[in-house]
Amino acid sequence: MNLAVIGTGNIGLVTALCFAHKGHTVFCADIDHKKIANLQKGIAPVFEPSLHDLLQAQLCKNSIRFSISAKEAVQDAEVAFVTLGTPNTTAGLPDISAIEQFLTQLPNLNPHLRKVVIRSTVPPGTNLQLTAKFPGLHLIASPEFLREGSAIQDCLYPERVIVGSDSAADLNLFREIYMSFGLHDDQFLFMDPTSAEFSKYAANIFLASRISLMNEFSRICASTGADIKKIQQVLSTDRRIGSYFLDAGIGYGGSCFPKDIQAFINYARGINEDASITQAIQNSNTNQLERYYKLIISNLPEAHEKVLAIWGLSFKPETDDVRESVSLKLVEKLRYHYRLQLYDPKANTHAADLYRDTKTISISDCAEAALTGASALLICTDWSEFKNYDLFKMKSLLKYPVVFDGRHIYDPAHMRDLGFTYHTVGRH
């Protein structure tokens, strides 16, 4: 099929490339001239495993094209997928103006194209609202569940595809679009658009609730002498709970959880409904960051010649994305107490842009440089490079063998046997 993808952010680009990989002809549009120019040259705008290779392969096959012109992108399209950003407004609700702008223009761009799939994360009820505003269009709500760092895998092998529509014919449309994805029929979840939109928030909030609960348990473990990893082991061996998203740490970040959770809280408040559990999830995440900040300040006496090495700036491993990264939130609090030597395997460039003129912050081009001369090391992102690091080398490079492990990547007893002073929340 000829598909248009409007918006080439992380989700839009991965979605477009996977559709092209699966045999569709895809035309993408984005207003970011530089991004489009780079994509046309095969340069990916973000680090995402396999993204570069998939982009090169689709360009070679001529199965994907990029333009700043939405008119070009929709010219021959049978369906348009909207993956435009919906950042929270100052009122804390998703801004859907970019989507509305596209829908307003569409009849003039291609009067024959009516079917539009809204893949962006939008508040429940948006499809109904936009359908009333644009009666000439047929809008389908189909949120995605891609994780940065595994987005291509998640896109090629989706656990489910949501078809949020009042027309059962759209189920056949999605079966056609996803024909070569090898999905079982029961993986297409057909429902009303509002439930589809709601399900995106529900999934993210539920996942974040597991993290925030484990973080709350870890804080209480710190005061009781219990070991959060042992508790995780007990929980993960209960098939009703499962083993995913039970890693306590310094908290969740990223472009989705924080934004979606805040939006949902505000959305519920706007309809006079209680979202106190969702609010508690957000509060626990904030408390976790504060707890690690206090752990550092209380165990690393403040002195301006003190240097703190920080490993991990991206909000999670296998991405260079620093949006809402808890690492950078800690950097913002610690920069006034210490000189900071930052390192991340993929996010250094973004960090350099942020801290270019900051005297107390330096970006190290390797893990060793960040360690050299530091009074302590703080681990904020659980990159494999850090998990597998030579601890004898670490000890030799640090001025003092002090480690604050924000992601529980090392074993406390082993670290102490090696002569480290090891700090974390919830292990002893």
Least distance in angstroms from the C-beta of 1 to ligand UDX: 24
Question: Could you confirm whether 256 is annotated as catalytic?
Answer: yes
Stretch touching ligand UDX by CB under 6 A, among 32-40, 159-167, 231-239, 247-255 = 247-255
Least distance in angstroms from the C-beta of 68 to ligand UDX: 26
Q: Is 405 in the site for ligand UDX (CB under 6 A)?
A: no
Q: Which of 247, 318, 320, 405 binds ligand UDX (CB under 6 A)?
A: 247
> Can you spell out the DSSP letters for 226-289?
--HHHHHHHHHTSTTT-SSS---SS---SSSHHHHHHHHHHHHHHTT---HHHHHHHHHHHHHH
Q: Is 320 in the site for ligand UDX (CB under 6 A)?
A: no
Q: Could you write out the three-class secondary structure of 73-120?
A: HHCCCCEEEECCCCCECCCCCECCHHHHHHHHHHHHHCCCCCEEEECC
DSSP run (H or E) holding 153: helix 151-156
Q: Which of 245, 287, 306, 418 binds ligand UDX (CB under 6 A)?
A: 245
Query: What is the x/- site pattern for ligand UDX, positions 253-272, by CB under 6 A?
Result: xx-xx---------------
Least distance in angstroms from the C-beta of 147 to ligand UDX: 4
Task: Quote the CA–CA distance of 96 and 267 in Å, as a whole number.
Answer: 14
| 137 token code pair | 């269009």
Of the pair 145, 400, the CB lying nearest ligand UDX is at 145
Query: What is the x/- site pattern for ligand UDX, positions 278-317, by CB under 6 A?
Result: -------------------------------------xx-
Q: Is 145 in the site for ligand UDX (CB under 6 A)?
A: yes
Question: How far is CA 383 from each of CA 108, 152, 273, 380, rounded to the nearest angstrom?
Answer: 48, 19, 39, 9
Q: Is 201 in the site for ligand UDX (CB under 6 A)?
A: no
Size of the site for ligand UDX (CB under 6 A): 18
Task: Quote the CA–CA distance of 7 and 4 in Å, as a whole number.
Answer: 10
Q: Which of 73, 146, 196, 378 binds ligand UDX (CB under 6 A)?
A: 146
Q: Is 24 in the site for ligand UDX (CB under 6 A)?
A: no
Of the pair 178, 245, the CB lying nearest ligand UDX is at 245
Q: Which residue has the tokens 């009703």?
A: 240
- The active-site residue out of 18, 28, 155, 256 is 256
Task: Quote the CA–CA distance of 4 and 25 in Å, as a whole number.
Answer: 8
Query: In angstroms, how far is CA 264 from the centroid of its own chain?
Result: 17
* One-letter amino acid for residue 370 of the chain: A
Q: Which of 174, 217, 252, 267 binds ligand UDX (CB under 6 A)?
A: 252
Query: What is the x/- site pattern for ligand UDX, positions 202-241, by CB under 6 A?
Result: --x--x---x------------------------------
Residue 2 backbone phi and psi in degrees, to 5: -95, 115
Q: Which residue has the tokens 């559709």?
A: 19
Of the pair 193, 253, the CB lying nearest ligand UDX is at 253
Q: Is 264 exposed, middle or buried (0-12, 13-18, 19+ CB in 10 A)?
A: buried
Stretch touching ligand UDX by CB under 6 A, among 226-234, 246-254, 297-305, 415-423 = 246-254
Of the pair 56, 286, the CB lying nearest ligand UDX is at 286
* One-letter amino acid for residue 90 of the chain: T
At how many degrees (to 10) do helices 228-236 and 193-224 cross?
140
Least distance in angstroms from the C-beta of 192 to ligand UDX: 21
Least distance in angstroms from the C-beta of 260 to ligand UDX: 7
Of the pair 249, 412, the CB lying nearest ligand UDX is at 249
Q: Which of 30, 148, 344, 405 binds ligand UDX (CB under 6 A)?
A: 148
Q: Is 345 in the site for ligand UDX (CB under 6 A)?
A: no
Task: Quote the CA–CA distance of 151 and 382 in Å, as a whole number.
Answer: 18
- List, in order, residues 6 or more apart from 350 with CB less than 8 Å away: 313, 320, 321, 322
Of the pair 204, 282, the CB lying nearest ligand UDX is at 204
Of the pair 144, 170, the CB lying nearest ligand UDX is at 144
Task: Quote the CA–CA distance of 45 and 34 in Å, as a whole number.
Answer: 9
Stretch touching ligand UDX by CB under 6 A, among 36-44, 94-102, 143-151, 270-278 = 143-151
- List, in order, residues 6 or more apart from 126 with CB less than 8 Å away: 96, 118, 141, 197
Task: Quote the CA–CA distance of 340 and 280 in Å, as a whole number.
Answer: 32
* One-letter amino acid for residue 21 of the chain: H
CB 317 within 8 A of CB 381: yes
Residues forming the site for ligand UDX (CB under 6 A):
145-148, 204, 207, 211, 245-247, 249, 252-254, 256-257, 315-316
- Could you give the residue numbers annotated as active site? 256
